[in-house]
Amino acid sequence: MISHLRTMWLVFRHLFQKKVTVQYPEEKVPLYPRWRGRIVLTKDPDGGERCVGCYLCAAACPVDCIALQATENEEGRRYPEFFRINFSRCIFCGYCEEACPTYAIQLIPDFEMAEYNRQDLVYEKEDLLIDSQGKYPGYNFYNVAGLDAGVKEKGKGEDEETPVDIKSLLP
């Protein structure tokens, strides 16, 4: 009986405690930088697309919501011809971000993407591409890659030695 009364008193005291409710549309939930929300495609420091159209994200996606078609420009730089994410399928697992070798695809802290029309949840490349470097500022894939795709010449990248002439006998 005493424990019952004590329980009632303890519950009653909760009347004056701080409420945990977040009144959502007016108050926002704090979202942290690594929160996995809307998917974006980021850009290089010099404004080029980071995506090289390697299909690794599409392969990693467990729900097959990513579709893309790779193509090449005249300098030999690969980029996606179209890049489509169906957000009505997406489960925000972040596997695409893990799979991406060029840090192009990234998940950002934003979840307010409700639509009235289901078709509006299919995001095209122009919806996904943002004018930002995302979580990796200063990173440019072609600076560390061996390939000459118009960003730098062969042998001029970071930690890259000049090419060796394999046909020559000179050291």
Q: How far apart are CA 148 and CA 155, in angstroms?
A: 9
CB closer to another protein out of 28 and 118: 28
- State which residue, 20 or 166, has the beta carbon closest to another protein: 20
**Phi, psi at 80, each rounded to 5°:** -75, 135
**Nearest approach, Cβ of 1 to another protein (angstroms)?**
9
SS3 state at 125: helix
How open is the CA angle 93-138-128, to the nearest 5 degrees? 40
Strand partners, 163: none
Q: For residues 135 and 34, what is the distance between their CA atoms, to the nearest angstrom?
A: 9
Residue with tokens 């730089």: 77
Q: How far is the CB of 25 from another protein (least distance, A)?
A: 10
Our CB check for another protein shows the closer of 11 and 166 to be 11
Query: CA quadruple 49, 50, 55, 60: dihedral positive or negative?
Result: negative
Q: How far is the CB of 112 from another protein (least distance, A)?
A: 18
Question: Could you tell me which residues come within 8 angstroms of residue 38 by beta carbon, excluding any fewer than 6 positions away?
Answer: 87, 107, 108, 110, 111, 113
Q: Which is nearer to another protein, 24 or 116 (CB)?
A: 24
Nearest CB to another protein, comparing residues 20 and 169: 20
Residue 14 beta carbon to another protein: minimum distance, rounded to whole angstroms: 5
CA distance 98 to 93: 10
CB of 16 to another protein, least distance (A): 9
Residues contributing to the site for another protein (CB under 8 A): 4, 7-8, 10-12, 14-15, 17-21, 23
